[in-house]
């Protein structure tokens, strides 16, 4: 695999890629991104990721974005050029180029970057033993400040700060609450808990990103006949869960076995969690946009 970048339609090795110093995402976080997985030369849920990206562009009023089908083709072409069979695909869109907050004073031609690389959020052994998580003090961004459904680049400063707090406390991940004290999400993942055979996950109104992997888990559970509820969860619910796990494109699905020094269930990955993980791995190898071998 060669790490490749597509910058505004031009392919190049990662080592040659450059961005303008006045790119609005670089200066102000004024842009959007998607992380997408390639499994077995299949791009998993590409249309779902791109739909969220274009919805975000519309919400933020990023003008002049390239057509949907053109971006889709650029992604496929970049993956094929890399020769990758399994990879992490990062797609970033900035509003344009120019200094100053006012978009009227800049070149509002979006800069569109596609990078083919690798990303692993957690060591492989944590997927076997499960994550130790702590509740962090930093709250998720309130929806009256920035809608959590938008995967905005600037939004993630708060998540990075929460991750650093978890690191300082020796935990593998940090769990974030909203301003009302309800459980929202981890620093880069969605949360699920299992109670009495029922799967529960924070309701979107709690300030979460509606994750693509989250939706995939909901689909798997319903196919298995497992009830799924989007709910308003408190820490009490998580402390008393039978099982828990986190989901995300980068994280995939990882068991969570401890929160705030309290064991969840039996303190090991649960049976339902492992069943969902097995089915997720099966689907990721079989479903998606197939790219040609190099």
Structure tokens at 119: 């990303």
CB 5 within 8 A of CB 13: yes
Residue in 41, 36, 40, 24 with CA at minimum distance from that of residue 72: 36
With b for 16 or more beta-carbon neighbours within 10 A and e for fewer, the 140-176 pattern comes to: bbeeeebbbbbbbbebbebbeebbebbeeeebbbbbb
Please say if 151 is a catalytic residue.
yes
DSSP label at 46? H
C-alpha count within 13 angstroms, C-beta hemisphere, residue 69: 0
CB 189 within 8 A of CB 248: yes
Locate all alpha helices (DSSP H) within the chain, ordered by sequence.
24-28, 46-60, 68-82, 124-129, 156-168, 212-223, 235-239, 271-286
289 backbone φψ class: left, alpha, beta (φ>0; ψ -120 to 50): beta
Neighbours of 100 (CB within 10 A): 12
To which residue do tokens 């999400």 refer?
185
Catalytic option among 51, 72, 151, 163:
151
- Catalytic (active-site) positions: 151
């Amino acid at each position: 695999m060669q790490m490749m970048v597509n910058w505004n339609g031009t392919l190049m090795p990662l080592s040659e890629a450059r961005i303008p110093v006045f790119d609005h995402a670089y200066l102000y976080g004024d842009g959007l991104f998607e992380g997408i997985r390639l499994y077995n030369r299949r791009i998993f849920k590409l249309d779902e990721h791109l739909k969220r990206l274009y919805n975000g562009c519309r919400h933020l009023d990023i003008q002049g974005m390239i057509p949907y089908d053109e971006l889709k083709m650029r992604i496929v072409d970049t993956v094929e050029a890399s020769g990758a069979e399994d990879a992490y695909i990062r797609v970033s869109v900035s509003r344009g180029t120019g200094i100053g907050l006012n978009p009227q004073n800049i070149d509002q031609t979006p800069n569109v970057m596609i990078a083919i690389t690798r990303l692993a959020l957690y060591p492989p052994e944590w997927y076997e033993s499960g994550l130790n998580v702590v509740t962090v003090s930093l709250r998720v961004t309130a929806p009256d400040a920035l809608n959590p459904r938008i995967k905005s680049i600037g939004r993630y400063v708060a998540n990075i700060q929460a991750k650093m707090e978890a690191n300082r406390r020796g935990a593998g991940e940090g769990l974030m609450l909203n301003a009302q004290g309800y459980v929202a999400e981890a620093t880069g993942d969605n949360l699920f808990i299992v109670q009495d055979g029922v799967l529960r996950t924070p309701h979107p109104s709690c300030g979460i990103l509606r994750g693509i992997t989250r939706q995939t888990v909901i689909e798997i559970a319903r196919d298995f006949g497992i009830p799924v509820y989007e709910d308003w969860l408190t820490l009490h619910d998580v402390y008393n869960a039978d099982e828990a796990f986190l989901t995300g494109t980068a994280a995939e699905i990882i068991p969570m076995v401890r929160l705030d020094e309290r064991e969840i269930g039996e303190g090991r990955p649960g049976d339902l969690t492992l069943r969902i993980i097995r089915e997720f791995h099966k689907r990721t190898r079989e479903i998606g946009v197939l790219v040609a071998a190099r």
